[in-house]
Chain A
Amino acid sequence: MKLLMIEWMKLKKYYTFWILTGIFGLLYILWNYGIGSSMVSIGNGNLAILSKSYSFPQVWSNMGFIYSWFVIFLVVFIIISISNEFTFRTNRQHIIDGMHRLDFLHAKAILILAISIGATLFFYLISLIFGFAYGGGNMFDENNYILYVFIYTLNYLSFAALLTFFVKRSGLSIIFFFAYLLVETIFTNVINKKLNTSVGNFTPLQSSDELLPFPLLDSLGKMSGLSQEALPAILYVGVSLAYILVYYLVARRKLLQSDL
């Protein structure tokens, strides 16, 4: 709790935090509102096809998929906030003030956990509102997507944090993050196609991407028989959590052994 309070003292007057989380929240709502109100249409004319996917239970998977794009704003925030500690050497100040090196890592881990919980609650609330506003249905069906959204956020933010612990510069970390994302996507597709399996899905970020697939394409793929039989989501949850543990252990080793 003390570590979280310290992180909050840093954040509450940090404009970048409010701007990036504000953009994340606002764009996410506006984007979904645009689709839900059929302002975004497919093909010629307003077919209102996509708006139907906002009723329960489809709302969870559809809004979860859209959420996965906007998490990038939170990723950028985590990279900037951690790299600032290295750039302005405030991490050094914390240590000479008496903070244990591991506490510095734990403070960031708790911040990531808090943001993931906050973002998941936001997703839950907005999905409920859209679900009730555009069709209704049983809100308790398929709400395991709430867990998937949480794991997805935790994995992406933790990976971004680990990358920043090594790179230490915000611009470079952001570039490396997107470069890695691109490389991993290509690698996953190539491996899956070449080996005709789903083994490529178990790369660090792809394992969480599998939790929030594009629902329409996913359904079409299964109907046409072109895509592999989906593995149980709980497997991807387990793999994602294992990766998060690995990130923690690597970051811990790095922080304990290096000069600050």
Chain B
Amino acid sequence: MEYILNTKDIRKSYGIVKALKGVSLQVPKGSVYGILGPNGSGKTTMLGILLDVLQADGGQYEWQGYSSPESARSNIGSLLETPNFYHYLSATDNLKISAAIKGRGENDIERVLKLVNLYNRKDSAFKTFSLGMKQRLAIAAALLGNPDVLVLDEPTNGLDPVGIAEIRNLILQLSKEGKTIIIASHLLDEVEKVCTHVAILKLGELITQGSVLEVLNDEDWIELGCENNDALLLALQSSGLCKQVRLQSLIIATPNKDVSIEVLSKWCFEASIYTQSFGASQTQSGK
């Protein structure tokens, strides 16, 4: 598996408080990777280190495929903690500054403002925005330039239920486009709904990491993908072979009790579906 990010033994202390006690993460390329943990578990500290706003006390990290941390960061869209913009400037003016820093043109500003439903307030000053609108603007800034990787710290913070659903759909949409998305959240529900992989942090320690179904679900699952995942999703849903089928970056299927990986493989073959990716949870593969 190709990883977009590798961290090894990252450590960070604030005085006597050990915020991170040697955390090693591997984020697969194209995944939606959730960092799940309660407040104070070290999620934001971890992301802060990866985005260079905090200095680690020890350990290493590497953004794969980039020659330097700087070149990696210009391809990463990020939202870290609370949105920080110039209160006297409008949404557009603030995004112009972000675009200039990223070395992108201003043409993309309209697109990202529309994506986060903020276009009708593009000329309003940041100080007049509600918390939810500020959060949307921060997400818009992260999306500027259509980066390959997104790092989002509590992206649905401050949003109303409709806004939360919109942002989750946007994350799923971006994931379908092949982007790698790293999300820090304290909401299990959020991670389950949008993530393909998860790492659980507690008091600065990594408890476990792996695919969402592996970590959060006891049931067997099968991961598969083909050229047209949308069509495969519909076919699997109507096949009667699976209890649950979800489309993330790949199809995640929870098969019925009597359906093995061989049965599903045979069904694909008979339906002329040529899978490019086929994997199963440990128990399934041992069936």
- Chain A residues within CB distance 8 Å of chain B: 2, 5-6, 9-10, 13-15, 88-90, 92-101, 257-260
Contacts and interface: CB of A to CB of B under 8 A. Distances in A.
B178 to A, nearest CB: 21
B100 interface: yes
B85 A93 contact: yes
Contacts of A99: 101
B281 to A, nearest CB: 35
A95 B51 contact: yes
B76 interface: yes
A90 B55 contact: no
Contacts of A96: 51-53, 73, 78-80, 151
A99 B80 CA distance: 15
The residue among A13, A93, A260 with the most chain B CB atoms within 10 A of its own CB is: A93
Nearest to A2: B100
B46 to A, nearest CB: 14
B141 A97 contact: yes
13 contacts: A6-B101, A9-B97, A9-B100, A94-B101, A96-B79, A96-B151, A97-B98, A98-B70, A98-B73, A98-B102, A99-B101, A100-B70, A259-B54
Given A90-B86, A98-B76, A6 B53 contact: no
A92 B76 CA distance: 15
B84 A15 contact: no
Interface residues of B, number: 31
State the majority secondary structure of interface residues on A: helix
Contacts of A89: 82, 84
Contacts of B186: none
Given A9-B93, A97-B141, A259-B53, A92 B80 contact: yes
Nearest to B151: A96
B100 A98 contact: no
Given A13-B88, A88-B85, 13 more contacts: A6-B100, A9-B93, A10-B97, A88-B84, A88-B86, A94-B101, A96-B52, A96-B73, A96-B78, A96-B151, A97-B78, A98-B73, A98-B74
B87 interface: yes
Nearest to A10: B86
Interface string B64-84: 000000100110101110111
A7 to B, nearest CB: 10
